[in-house]
Structure 1
Amino acid sequence: MPESYKGGRKKWVASLAKSIQMQHQSLEDLNRPGRPDTPMRTEALIDCWFSLGLYHHWQEEGEVARADWFQAVSLSQAYIERDLPTLTSEDAPCYVRVAKKAALAAALSGQEPLARTYFSYTERFSTGLVTGHEERPADPGAVLDSMGIHPLSRVYSLIRLGRLSGFHGLIFPDANSDEAVWSQTDIHGLLATAEHCLAIGRREGHVVFATETRLIPLLRALVAVLEGRETAEAAHKALVTYERSIRDMSDFRRIYPVVLDLKAAFPTVFTA
């Protein structure tokens, strides 16, 4: 069981069994004849297959997990590629969650080239860009969300793509100001911006997910290793700390795929 799971092993076993049952029930409901094929239905199907992959992987059912993730990737591909030709800069951030889930599902199912494609989509969409060649995002407010999800999704995707500098971004150049500017920056500027977004969210009374705040120290540690400023041991400790912060099933669904992905993507860093 996850080390810090609230309620201990008995609670974890019951939660896992219930979660698997609920996902299968959701799949049955979503696939009932006559059910309208809406974007909301597609996103719900993606979530179901992605979550089932996590549960089956935890139970050491690798082949079943990969099949689940293949389903999630296929649905995500069809969803994004269908809308991409008419996607606007204003709407692009709305596709971040699906694109990132597609990237992670592709990586976890052994489709790394496809994963990189969808990490590229995630990076663009979370910046408010469709093609990546636009001059700047059209709607800064949609990019710098108060929960820090979009800037952190961009940071994660850029790290996975091996791009730590040489790009523009919406950042807060002044830590005491909430006025963002479109400027040349690097991964450190984006991490600081993500933290600023979370600070704004707390100040305004918005929900701030602990899974996002806990991710920042891990990404900082990984960047320090990739830049040659720190040893791999420090990043490995940060990953262990992040994994140990799984306290409920919601944490598990957010944290476990990141742990799996980083271990596979950076094996020389995250060694036992």
Structure 2
Amino acid sequence: MARLRVPVSYKGGRKKWVEDLEKSIQVQTQYLTKVAEPDKPSTPMRTEAVFESWYALGLYGHWQGEEEVARAYWARAASLAHAYLEREMPALTSERAPNYAWLARTAALASALSGQESLACIFFSHAERFSTGLVTGQEPRSADPGAVLDDMGLQPLQRVYSLIRLGRMSGFHGLIFPEPNSDEAIWVQTDIHGLIGTAEHCLAIGRRKRLEVFASERGLPPLLRALVAALEGHGSQEAAREALAAYERSIRNMADFRRIYPVVLDLKAAFPALFNA
């Protein structure tokens, strides 16, 4: 390894991190070798799994200081996702759209981290629409509210993040919870603050149901609020930097790493004047 870094809050410390990292790299590499066999059918599940493997190997490589290798993996992942979504979108329905939001947002991160910001914007636009149950953006509203307002806040957070990366803070409609103590969502014109509040409301519903919510989702609302406040000029840059540092410190296992580390990298690259000052 070019450098031996360990996430500061990782359970098990340095020894466990090294073991988990080596095992994860081995598993992903072996999988890619296996699916490359000529008799393996090309299916959507296989395509998404290959995408995830290349994306993850990019994260592991970057952490170890192999930045050129990482960018190559991310570029391959982004190219695969682009071709895949181009094939899928003509037949995509509003009901199925939320199922593709995670892939679109992750592909946006892979694109941005490989230096393809224009492609990243295309993917962030896809993720923003898919996460709110829209395919083209011309539909009057989402067809399946339950898929848009999930109890772990996954879809609302994907939409918020994508809109921030696209520089859109207002001027759109959304399915939101207008009242803090009501679980009755309505489709109205809203802004980024309404969407963040709705994401927090979804997370609260999940907690009431005793669902396990990952650190990557729990920690996003305060980070995004601090980021938006700094971007809009009514919050300090220092508060945003502290929120990003706290988010990175919440990495406690490999699953956290795969979801949190790319966000940290992406925000630092997308807002250098804010986070690299």
Question: How high is the TM-score relative to the length of structure 1?
Answer: 0.98
Give the corresponding residue for 1:123: 128
- For 2:198 and 2:31, locate their aligned partners in 1 and report how far apart those are by CA, in whole Å: 37
Give the corresponding residue for 1:262: 267
In the alignment of these two chains, the number of paired residues is 272
Match of 1:183 among 181, 188, 202: 188
The answer to whether residue 116 in structure 2 is matched with residue 142 in structure 1 is no
- For 1:257 and 1:98, locate their aligned partners in 2 and report how far apart those are by CA, in whole Å: 14
**8 Å Cα contact 2:125-2:166 kept in structure 1:** yes
- For 2:35 and 2:182, locate their aligned partners in 1 and report how far apart those are by CA, in whole Å: 45
- Structural mapping, 1:98-177, within 5 Å: 98-177=103-182
Give the corresponding residue for 1:11: 16
Moved more, 128-137 or 198-207: 198-207
Give the corresponding residue for 1:97: 102
- For 1:155 and 1:188, locate their aligned partners in 2 and report how far apart those are by CA, in whole Å: 9
Match of 1:213 among 218, 221, 236: 218
Moved more, 191-200 or 151-160: 191-200
Q: Report runs of 4+ in structure 1 exceeding 4 Å deviation.
A: none
What root-mean-square deviation, in Å, do the aligned CA atoms of Structure 1 and Structure 2 show?
Answer: 1.0
Match of 2:72 among 50, 55, 67: 67
Query: What's the secondary structure of 2:59's corresponding residue?
Result: helix
Q: 1:31, CA displacement in angstroms?
A: 2.0
Q: 1:67, CA displacement in angstroms?
A: 0.8
- For 2:214 and 2:163, locate their aligned partners in 1 and report how far apart those are by CA, in whole Å: 21
Q: 1:30, CA displacement in angstroms?
A: 2.0
- For 2:67 and 2:74, locate their aligned partners in 1 and report how far apart those are by CA, in whole Å: 11
The Cα offsets for residues 99-153 of structure 1, whole Å up to 9 and x where unpaired, read as 0111000000000011011000000000100111111111111111111110000
The Cα offsets for residues 57-109 of structure 1, whole Å up to 9 and x where unpaired, read as 11111111111001111110111110111111111101011101110000000
Question: How high is the TM-score relative to the length of structure 2?
Answer: 0.96
Q: Structure 2: where are the runs of 5+ without partners?
A: 1-5
Match of 2:37 among 32, 38, 41: 32
Q: Structure 1: where are the runs of 5+ without partners?
A: none
- For 1:91 and 1:30, locate their aligned partners in 2 and report how far apart those are by CA, in whole Å: 26
Query: What's the secondary structure of 1:268's corresponding residue?
Result: helix
Match of 1:79 among 72, 75, 84: 84
Q: 1:170, CA displacement in angstroms?
A: 0.2
Q: 1:42, CA displacement in angstroms?
A: 0.8
